Amino acid sequence: MFGNWLKTSILMAAIVALFGTVGAAVGGGTGMLIALLFAAGMNIYTYWFSDKAVLKMYGAQEVMPVNNYGDGQFRNYYNMVKELAQNAELPMPKVYVINENQPNAFATGRNPENAAVAATTGIMQILTERELRGVMAHELAHVKNRDTLISTISASMAGAIASIAQFGMFFGGGTRDGERSSPIVGILIMFLAPMSASLIQMAISRGREFEADKMGAEISKDPKALASALEKIHNYAHKIPNETAEAHPETGQMMIINPLSSASFDSLFSTHPKTEERVRRLMVIANAS
């Protein structure tokens, strides 16, 4: 686990450094300072408000312990999350359901004390209770590892790097002597900087998914159930479009399986590892226990 956190820390440092480098190329030393201050302000905003924005975006409805959303049909789902949170030694997160046919689930929130987990009605229809339990354990692992904050920051910074690079291309960058940089340099920045930021962001996302699978298996004590769930979700998810995710592709990395219909599974730009590799690793854990 320490190795995964070290890798994530290095990648996060790399994306911050890239942010500053692009700012410097666009506006010299002043540009770098402005870029880093902008990044700090942006991350403070996402720290406090990203969870509410995402839940609202997907039309998530909170499941309450007594007067459940709907007619009590999600009571077992709520109690399942409660039990798993206790297993993981986590505060009880808020529990949401999303009226969406595509099977998927995600976790959000700035820390374990302000976390939320959400599952679609589609995932509840195709998974057994045991498999759903494995999925929610995976999402609680993200909460325990504070992955939701890491992924939000990395996605926000990658987007900001792309915006700054485009700004520099259209309005011209400056050197430290106040001279305009070469148009060729501007073109390179416009294309290479966002690409590099995306590569780093996706590498962070894939690493955190592997770690959440591992910890989720520990929380549920049932790695085979999570492996089976991943295979089912993978087979269904890309046959059923998720209009909200398609309109807001930056949220795709939050899901247990990439919800985008155009997702590439063997690309460096994929937010998720190959499902086959995730299943293989989980089965290794199952066979070792």
Task: Check whether 2 has a pLDDT greater than 70.
Answer: no
Q: What is the pLDDT of residue 130?
A: 97
Number of domains into which the chain is organized? 1
**DSSP 3-state of 99:** coil
pLDDT 10s digits, 80-109:
999 999 999 999 999 999 999 999 999 998
Q: Is 185 exposed, middle or buried (0-12, 13-18, 19+ CB in 10 A)?
A: middle
Q: Is the pLDDT of residue 232 over 80?
A: yes
pLDDT tens digit string along 121-179? 999 999 999 999 999 999 999 999 988 767 666 666 666 666 666 665 554 555 444 45
Predicted local distance difference test score (pLDDT) of residue 83: 97
The residues, ordered by sequence, that sit 6+ positions from 29 with a Cβ below 8 Å of its Cβ are 176
pTM over 0.85: no
CA 39/CA 161 separation, integer angstroms: 9
| Residues annotated as part of the active site | 139
What the block records as the tokens of 255 is 């899901």
Residue span of the structural domain in which 90 resides: 2-288
Pairs from 26-31 (Cβ < 8 Å, separation ≥ 24): 26/164, 26/165, 26/167, 26/168, 26/173, 26/174, 26/189, 27/168, 27/173, 27/174, 28/174, 28/175, 28/176, 28/178, 29/176, 31/173, 31/174
Nearest partner of 188 among 203, 173, 204, judged by Cα: 173
